[in-house]
Amino acid sequence: MQVVACIKHVPDATADRRFTPERTVDRSVDGLLSELDEYAVEQALRLKDRAPAPDDVVVAVVSMGPARAVEAIRKALQMGADRGVHVIDDALAGSDALATSLVLAAAARWAAGGEVPDLVVCGMASTDAGMGVVPAMLAERLGLPQVTLASLVEVRDGEIRARRDGDHAREVIGATLPAVLSVTDQSGEARYPSFKAIVAAKKKPVDVVSLADLDVDATLVGAAASWSVVDDVAPRPPRSAGVVVRDVDGAGVDALVGFLTSNRFI
Amino acid sequence: MPEVLVLVDHLDGVVRRSTLELLTIARRLGEPSAVYASPDPLPDETVRLLGEHGARAVYVVQDETVEQFSVAPLAEALEQLVRSTTPTVVLIGSTPEGKEVAARLAVRTDSGLLTDAVGVDVVDGAAVTTHSAFGGGYEVRARVTRGTPVITVKPNTVEPVAEPAHPEVRPVTTTFSDAARSARVVARQPRERSARPELTEASVVVSGGRGTGGDFAPVEALADALGAAVGASKAAVDSGWAPHSFQVGQTGKTVSPQLYVAAGISGAIQHRAGMQTSRAIVAVNRDPDAPIFELADLGVVGDLHTVLPAVTEEIRRRER
Ligand SMILES: Cc1cc2nc3c(=O)[nH]c(=O)nc-3n(C[C@H](O)[C@H](O)[C@H](O)COP(=O)(O)OP(=O)(O)OC[C@H]3O[C@@H](n4cnc5c(N)ncnc54)[C@H](O)[C@@H]3O)c2cc1C
């Protein structure tokens, strides 16, 4: 069984995140494997752990991104993934979600030896752009069932079932593999790599592939070919911190009631 | 005037407020046409409501497929309407499902996609959108350069404004691909309706965090006194003190109310991402150095277990 997890290397949200002069996310700052993609790797690994013959389940992680994206791949290998595929190509800079999904769809096939993998797993969204649309796009592009935003996953006998907590209802979605799965941060905490796993990961293979290797036309991706354009980015003026009142002898209560009254909330 | 397609977000015919916002935005861009998909017939009141907000036409996709299979059928129904009506823009609510429908539609029509708009302007007849980036730290303006722009808009982006029209109801038939019928909805349990307003639509939200210590009663009581929705931090949700549907933040809901009250919430970047654009922010926190105070219009350094009940009591006293 071939399982491919799509993972992203993102700027650290707790550090300084910014844009380049070209209005793309600055990726030269400290980065890490997107926390939301750790959940995807975790689910892929649980599938392997629980399989009757774990060795028959190959978990590959695929990442598209600049040279440093290999850090995310390394982390996933330390968690227990078997191999990595790093799509790196100068033509990719500035790609939007449509281009990204085009490349990831090709990379997922490449990672599974040219076939559609049995399962493609994604996180619910990236933590930088945060659109949450790539999994649906991958399902569309690969022509596979879309089982997304899952908070609980079960794979058995070639069937997948997942709980999806939708806006209007809690649903159970079922499909026959192959399928595209995305998992939420409710799906189960990701494991910490053990020391032994960290050492073992150093020997795991990471294939570096270009757009040409994937047979993706380079003129279809990157900033120039994007389906949308960012005209302007500006830091939002920080909210001016207001009044802070210590609640001594009910002063805080009075201030809050006063605030609600003067702003006509009561 | 060119058409603008608006996907109606509804639960059993009850239309979300966000749809009325989309119709209001659509009128700036062209003539709004609503798209209503459901296994059940379109209720007359729904036609009336959509018409009141300017829908000139309501396309009705009455087909069980849209409820029996996840996401893909809605995208295919919209795709076929995009091909037959050649709209200038497609507007969809920025719910998780709405964004996935938009994603598939964009691929199928080879069109640009912009999600989570918090503003939509018209520049030279085309839609220019505003988005929050990096947890609200930046504002980004973008536009689609290819195909039929597909734009998802966050709730509370505009105030719905009525502009009565008499919509023509047009039933449409959609043919669904096998791929669209591959992810089955095996079971469906509608979310319990609460007497409180919908979190993303409420004009006041009172949220509790880890600082509640698991006791949400003071948060709920203040929310009820203010006619507010109840929200929660991820820490509170992960502790099992509030359902996930209450979570505000990066992996929960984005809210943009007139007033957001954060009680016992530290103000982590991921939480801010979901409430930063609130009109007014009030924080109650025991720790004077809590980052939430950096964005609060009013900060109260104190114990939420004494402050919230006292405020609730005062509001109730004034009502008497
Ligand atoms: C990928 C990712 C996504 C995330 N998504 C979200 C998200 O969607 N939403 C979200 O909220 N978080 C999210 N988080 C988690 C976030 O980083 C914080 O951990 C979380 O917001 C903390 O919740 P909290 O403020 O309730 O708890 P804490 O940070 O523990 O803060 C509790 C606060 O309560 C105060 N307090 C304690 N007792 C009292 C009292 N009696 N009275 C008054 N104040 C008191 C304390 O001073 C403290 O400031 C995400 C994290 C990651 C990595």
* Candidate from A97, A124, A230 with C-beta closest to B113: A97
**Cβ within 8 Å, pair B183-A179:** yes
In the reported structure, the alpha carbon of residue A104 is separated from the centroid of ligand 1 by a whole-number distance in angstroms of 34
B126 close to A (CB below 8 A): no
Q: What pLDDT, on the 0 to 100 scale, is given for residue A227?
A: 92
The ipTM (two decimal places) reads: 0.96
A51: helix, strand or coil: coil
Could you tell me the end-to-end alpha-carbon distance of chain A, in angstroms, rounded to an integer?
61
CA A94/CA A79 separation, integer angstroms: 29
- Which residue owns the Cα nearest ligand 1 atom 31? B266
The three-state secondary structure class of A63 is strand
Where does residue A164 fall: left (phi above 0), alpha (psi -120 to 50 degrees), or beta otherwise? Answer: beta
**Which pLDDT value is given to residue A236?**
87
Mean pLDDT, rounded, for A112-134: 97
d(C-alpha B3, C-alpha B6), whole Å: 10
- Domain spanning A2-225, CATH class: alpha beta
Question: Does the predicted model carry a pTM greater than 0.90?
Answer: yes
Q: Dump pLDDT digits (tens) for A3-22.
A: 999 999 999 988 888 899 88
Q: Show Cβ contacts of residue B295 under 8 Å, excluding neighbours closer than 6 positions.
A: A238, A239, A241, B267, B272, B276, B281
* Closest by CA position to A242, among listed B280, B158, B30: B280
A18-41 pLDDT, tens digit per residue, is 899 888 889 888 999 999 999 999
Residues of chain B with CATH 3.40.50.1220: 204-319
Q: Which fold has domain B3-181?
A: Rossmann fold (3.40.50)
The answer to whether A145 and B183 are in contact (CB under 8 A) is yes
- Structural domain boundaries in chain A: 2-225
CATH class of B204-319: alpha beta
Q: Is the pLDDT of residue A116 over 80?
A: yes
How many CB pairs below 8 Å do chains A and B form together? Answer: 263
Asked if residues A79 and A191 have their Cβ atoms less than 8 Å apart, the reply is: yes
Ligand 1 residue neighbourhood (C-beta within 6 Å): A 35-36, 127, 185; B 209-211, 233-236, 247-252, 264-266, 268, 270-271, 274, 284-287, 290, 303-305
pLDDT in tens, A231-253: 999 998 888 779 999 999 999 99
Locate CATH 3.40.50.620 in chain B: 3-181
HSE toward the beta carbon, residue A216, CA cutoff 13 A? 26
Q: Say if the Cβ atoms of A233 and B133 lie within 8 Å.
A: yes
Annotated binding-site residues of B for FAD read 210, 247-251, 264-271, 285
pLDDT at B192: 81
Candidate of B250, B254, B292 to mutate for ligand 1, largest count of ligand atoms within 8 Å of Cβ: B250
Cβ of B139 within 8 Å of Cβ of A236? The answer is: yes
Question: What mean pLDDT comes out for the span A123-142?
Answer: 97
Average pLDDT over residues A151-158: 96
Number of Cβ atoms within 10 Å of the Cβ of A184 = 23
Tens digit of pLDDT for each residue in A42-70?
999 999 999 999 999 999 999 999 999 99
Q: Is A95 on the interface with B (CB under 8 A)?
A: no
Question: Ligand 1 atom 28: the closest Cα is on which residue?
Answer: B266
Which residues in chain B (182-241) have CB-CB distances under 8 A to chain A?
182-191, 204, 225-226, 234
Pick the closest to residue A44 from A228, A227, A179 (CA basis).
Answer: A179
Per-residue pLDDT of chain B (320 residues; tens, 9 = 90+): 799 999 999 998 899 999 999 999 999 999 999 999 999 999 999 999 999 999 999 999 999 999 999 999 999 999 999 999 999 999 999 999 999 999 999 999 999 999 999 999 999 989 999 999 988 889 999 999 999 999 999 999 999 999 999 999 999 999 999 999 999 999 999 888 889 999 999 999 999 999 999 999 999 999 999 999 999 999 999 999 999 999 999 999 999 999 999 999 999 999 999 999 899 999 999 999 999 999 999 999 999 999 999 999 999 999 88
